[in-house]
Amino acid sequence: MSSRLDGRIGVVIGGGSGMGRAISHRLAEEGVKVYVADLNGEAAEAVAKEIEQRGGRAVPVQVDATSVAELRALYARIEAEDGVLHIVHNQVGMPGAGGLDVSEEEFQRNIDVNVKSVFYSATLAFDLLKRAGKKASITMTASTSALVGSPFSPVYSLTKSALVGFTRALALVGAPDGIRVNCIAPGTVHTPMLASFFGRERGADVSALTKEFVAGIPLGRGAQPEEIASVVAFLASDDASFVTGVTVPIDGGLTAK
């Protein structure tokens, strides 16, 4: 594994499981000191321990990404310990309620998790990212549902679509300081959260629904978390030094149809 990110400091918000775990590992393998931030403190500690056992550098932090105060505290800690930040990746998200019968409480929860957390995790990091010598990268995780729409959960499409426009706007804000901002849009990824996307309806056959959906993917399979992590690592690296303001589908060709 090349060390194209040697000596850089990064934070993966939602790094305790699934895609976030794989991204934390990949960045560490490429030389990043990774702050593994997650609502589940034990999960963050487990991932950080895994990274350290493989010779990498990681710091676990328990963070509620919907709390501005906790995000401020996270960045204050990074400033105190490292004084600079090169990479911010936000993996936080939730599937959202199915259909149109969405309570105000459910709606607000989706906004907080899928939109508010992304906005503040990115914008509150700007001062630290400006110190990265024009080598800073912000990535955020949308979904193919932001690009083609989800008949299963319109509120999920609503919140994830917001990230596509936000990416473009923030890329323009960050450009003068060399802060690149990009978005990934994964399709079906084999993580613990996958079942929740197909199991919104009571009694749903999750296995059958997943198999049916995957059959419609041109490459004929879902992604592994490591395949998502490789794209984030590319976007964080100098290999993507002229890439900003874009949303990259990682979907096996689903949105090409």
Kindly name the residue from 35, 75, 120, 156 that is annotated as catalytic.
156
Q: Which residues pair with 36 in a beta bridge?
A: 12, 60
Q: What count of other Cβ atoms lies within 10 Å of the Cβ of residue 216?
A: 12
Q: Which residues pair with 57 in a beta bridge?
A: 33
198 neighbors 169 (Cβ within 8 angstroms): no
Active site residue 75: no
Alpha-carbon span 207 to 84, nearest angstrom: 45
Alpha-carbon span 11 to 161, nearest angstrom: 23
32 neighbors 87 (Cβ within 8 angstroms): yes
Alpha-carbon span 61 to 110, nearest angstrom: 23
Q: Which residues pair with 181 in a beta bridge?
A: 138
129 neighbors 179 (Cβ within 8 angstroms): yes
Amino acid 12 reads V
Catalytic residues: 156
